Amino acid sequence: MKILIVVPALGLVYGGPSKIAVELAQALGNLGISVDVVTTNANGAISLDVPLHTWIPEKSYRVQYFPYWMGEYKTSFTLTGWLLQHVTDYDLVHTIAVFSYPVLAAHLACQLRQVPYVMNPQGMLEPWALSYKAWKKRFYYALLEKPALQHAKAIQMLAFTEAERTKPLNIKAPMVLIPNGIHRQDFEALPDPALFYQNFPNTRNKTLILFLGRVDPKKGLNLLAVAFAKIQAQFPQTHLIVAGQDNIGFLSTAQGYFAEAGCLDAVTFTGMLTGSLKYAALAAASVYVAPSYSEGFSMSVLEGMASGLPCIITTGCNFPEAASAQAAHVVDINADKIADALIECLKHPQQAKAMGNRARQLILERYTWEQVASNLSKVYTAILKQEPISVFS
């Protein structure tokens, strides 16, 4: 089986979709599936320093980069030409994200060359996501994205709630429920938190609350500012870590939320954390919080839970299973509810620790890339054999 994954970019500044494409390619390749990834060299304000128009071998897949222009839309005519010429080299194409030129070009090439494709919108069809910059998306969706969705052989939904919220769009293609995952080995032993304290000494000897995600309007930092101000009043030893990249110039606005709430002095904005430093932050934290308005299925939430942290996440994170398993506080998208859950964890550390242990067990048992790849390979096989597609969870 030969699979082509198309994703707008692999730059780390883009967060989830870029990381997911790499992890998925690796996991599928580990199953013995032939996997190629094509993308652009976009990486925020600068381009990735990578060879273009040539295959770069990775552990169990290959990747090829193409130049782009037009900023966030990532238009690439050379990628378009390559897709038109080579898409028939593959049995099936899997695209990640929507509202971006590379995946649109892939869908059109697949339709023209009659190659089946699977789409993973990564939560970008959720009501909140569609309402953000709606004046741009409404026309684009009707003209380009909806036809692409209708021609897909399957739509990969990351959560049951995501599938439910997209029902009003009347997408005819079958939906399969396959969430994102983590690598078990990454969480078998977290590094010494001293590495984090060395880089951010003002956090030493504090009770750390960790937010791990892009500095972006949808992440709910305005809600977190109000909630954390209440926490600071009751637990002055607490300190909030906001660890994430600012791709759109939103940092000053986010900092303004905390300044207005009167708690900016107890907040450290670290920028994006990667590798050992990210895992050291997880090891140093006492509580993880995700106050998002909308997510597909957050990789950061999975990482927080796999680290054994007590987690407070909103219903916008699309993970009701965490509440069912008593593995996280899943709260309404509301500053008071977020604050109440944080207070509960800080007042009752033993119960919070037990919840974190349940979270770790849940993620390591049910949400690994090995399971994701196995379920997707079954979907691919069913499509290629023209058999009914089952829904996996």
Q: Are residues 217 and 284 in the same domain?
A: yes
Question: Same domain for 287 and 356?
Answer: yes
| CA dist., res. 219 & res. 224, Å (int) | 9
Are 151 and 226 members of one domain? no
Residue 267, pLDDT score: 98
Mean pLDDT of all residues in 284-308: 94
Count other Cβ atoms within 10 Å, centred on residue 136: 10
- Same domain, yes or no: 205 and 96: no
Tally of structural domains, the chain: 2
* Same domain for 97 and 74: yes
- Write out pLDDT tens, residues 207-239: 999 999 999 999 999 999 999 999 999 999 999
**215 and 222 Cβ atoms separated by less than 8 Å:** no
Q: Is residue 353 part of a domain?
A: yes
- Name the least confident of 33-37, 49-53, 84-88, 180-184: 180-184
Q: Are residues 206 and 171 in the same domain?
A: no
Instruction: Give per-residue pLDDT as tens, 302-352.
Output: 999 999 999 999 999 989 999 999 999 999 999 999 999 999 999 999 999
What pLDDT does residue 392 have? 46
Written as one letter, the residue type at 56 is I
Residues 6+ apart with CB under 8 A from 174: 153, 154, 155, 389
Based on the domain organization, do 150 and 197 belong to the same domain? no
Residue 390 has pLDDT above 90, yes or no: no
Q: Tell whether 146 and 16 lie within a shared domain.
A: yes
Tens-place pLDDT, residues 62-75: 999 999 986 678 99
Q: How much of the chain, in percent, has pLDDT values that exceed 90? A: 79
Residue listed under structure tokens 């169990």:
60
Q: Are residues 119 and 68 in the same domain?
A: yes
Edge to edge, the sheet with strand 34-40 lists 56-57, 62-66, 34-40, 2-9, 92-96, 117-120, 154-157, 175-177
Q: pTM of the full predicted structure?
A: 0.87
392 within some domain: no
**Do 291 and 264 contact (CB within 8 A), yes or no?**
no
Domain boundaries, position 247: 185-365
CATH label of the domain that carries residue 268:
3.40.50.2000
Q: What is the band of 4 on the pLDDT scale with cuts at 50, 70, 90? A: very high
Q: 223 and 209, same structural domain?
A: yes
Give Cα 317 distance to the centre of its chain.
Answer: 10
Q: Are residues 175 and 208 in the same domain?
A: no
